[in-house]
Amino acid sequence: MYSGPIILIGFMGAGKTTIGQLLGQITGLPVIDTDITIEEQEKRTINTIFNQHGEEYFRNVESRVLRQVVSENAVITTGGGIILRAENRQLLKETGNTFFLECEPNVVVERLAEDDTRPLLKNKSLAEITQMYHNRLPLYKECATCTIDTSTLTMEEVTELILKRMK
């Protein structure tokens, strides 16, 4: 009934992983999380990759993984910074079903208050996170087929909207 890929992009804490799992259950499509794929291929956590090799190395691996999975008939959840590279944005645009899950920075901060697995959010103020979000916003919108604000919706409501807007 559904053919993928269905790609979810958005800032950290927007709900990509949770909504991706729900979409996978409903559609019967496998779910590929690019961050998990990176950790499996690198045999270490993203935090460790950042600490040992830095963000540039991580972004290189992330781009390679996106190229590997972008044509899969699957629900693909991505890391929040995947849109930072032009080559990734081009791939996401060409794919068709790329959904930008938008979420207000203050909601992101609330959702991630207890999460210490996000290297780019460590020791950041709400103002710094808001600035990072606003810097990335046009990049998300550039490659999205559709934008859905997850700030006040349930995961089920977001999933329903995605399925209604599938190409």
Task: Tell me the H-state helices in 28-153.
Answer: 34-42, 46-69, 86-95, 105-111, 126-143
Question: Mean pLDDT over all residues of the chain?
Answer: 88
Q: Lowest-confidence range among 42-46, 114-118, 150-154?
A: 114-118
Say whether 80 counts as a known binding-site residue.
yes
Q: Band the pLDDT of 104: cuts 50, 70, 90.
A: confident
- pLDDT for position 106: 74
- Which has the closest alpha carbon to 85: 42, 35, 40, 142? 142
Architecture of domain 6-164: 3-Layer(aba) Sandwich (3.40)
Say whether 64 counts as a known binding-site residue.
no
Tens-digit pLDDT profile for residues 26-77: 999 999 999 999 999 999 998 899 889 998 999 999 999 999 999 899 999 9
Say whether 16 counts as a known binding-site residue.
yes
Q: pTM value?
A: 0.90
Say whether 35 counts as a known binding-site residue.
yes
Question: How many Å from the N-terminal Cα to the C-terminal Cα in the chain?
Answer: 12
Query: Which pair of tokens denotes residue 10?
Result: 């958005």
Say whether 79 counts as a known binding-site residue.
no
Spatial CB neighbours of 151, under 8 Å, sequence gap ≥ 6: 102, 103, 104, 107
Residue with tokens 């460590």, as numbered in its chain: 122
Say whether 15 counts as a known binding-site residue.
yes
CB atoms within 10 A of CB 150: 26
Say whether 17 counts as a known binding-site residue.
yes
128 vs 142, residue with greater confidence? 142
- Domain spans of the chain, in order of start: 6-164
CB atoms within 10 A of CB 22: 19
- 8 Å CB contact between 4 and 76: yes
Amino acid identity at 115: D
Say whether 150 counts as a known binding-site residue.
no
Is the peptide bond prior to 5 cis by the omega test (within 30 degrees of 0)? Answer: yes
